[in-house]
């Protein structure tokens, strides 16, 4: 599938790599098909979650375990049923990143992770009922704490 991304130009996305969000992402409930662009490499932990049906919508995402080694999302059976898995090995977790003008202040939303069943490419955004995580974890501050 060819998409004309407002951010990256024309991108070919193999059909098998499309990620289905049956409920959408909060604030973007009408967008059900997404693609994960970029790979986690040593020099960059950031990737892009790109909407297929709106070429202007693209989120920077990160593996939250890069930020917090002790990060522990606890999806309940209802969340796991939505993404059709009970196998932790199939689960991929991502956090949406907000990048302000001062990139040193970029934050990750650890309160509402994206959970992807990597075997079936079905995903959901889960809001955790805990005060341990917030919608704005300062990425560089968190990394400094663990260094």
Q: d(Cα 51, Cα 35) in Å, to the nearest integer? A: 7
Partners of 62 in beta bridges: 46, 95
Per-residue pLDDT, 58: 96
Per-residue pLDDT, 38: 85
Question: How is domain 2-146 classified at the architecture level of CATH?
Answer: Roll (2.30)
Per residue in 69-110, pLDDT (tens digit) is 899 998 999 999 999 998 888 999 999 999 999 999 999 999
Per-residue pLDDT, 43: 61
Alpha-carbon torsion (126, 91, 96, 82), positive or negative: negative
| pTM across the whole model | 0.91
Average pLDDT by stretches of 10, the chain with 147 residues = 89 92 96 88 79 95 92 91 90 96 95 96 95 93 79
């Amino acid at each position: 599938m060819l998409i004309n991304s407002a951010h990256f130009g024309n991108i070919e996305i193999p059909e098998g790599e499309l990620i289905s969000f049956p409920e959408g992402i909060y604030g973007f409930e009408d967008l059900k098909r997404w693609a994960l662009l970029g790979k986690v490499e040593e020099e960059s932990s950031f990737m892009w979650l790109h909407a297929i049906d709106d070429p202007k919508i693209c989120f920077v995402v990160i593996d939250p375990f890069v930020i917090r080694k002790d990060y522990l999302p606890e999806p309940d059976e209802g969340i796991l049923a939505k993404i059709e898995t009970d196998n932790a090995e199939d689960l991929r977790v991502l956090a949406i990143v907000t990048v302000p003008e001062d990139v040193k202040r970029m934050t990750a939303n650890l309160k509402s992770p994206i959970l992807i069943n990597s075997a079936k490419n079905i995903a959901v955004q889960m809001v955790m009922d805990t005060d341990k995580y917030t919608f704005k974890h300062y990425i560089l501050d968190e990394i400094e704490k663990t260094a």
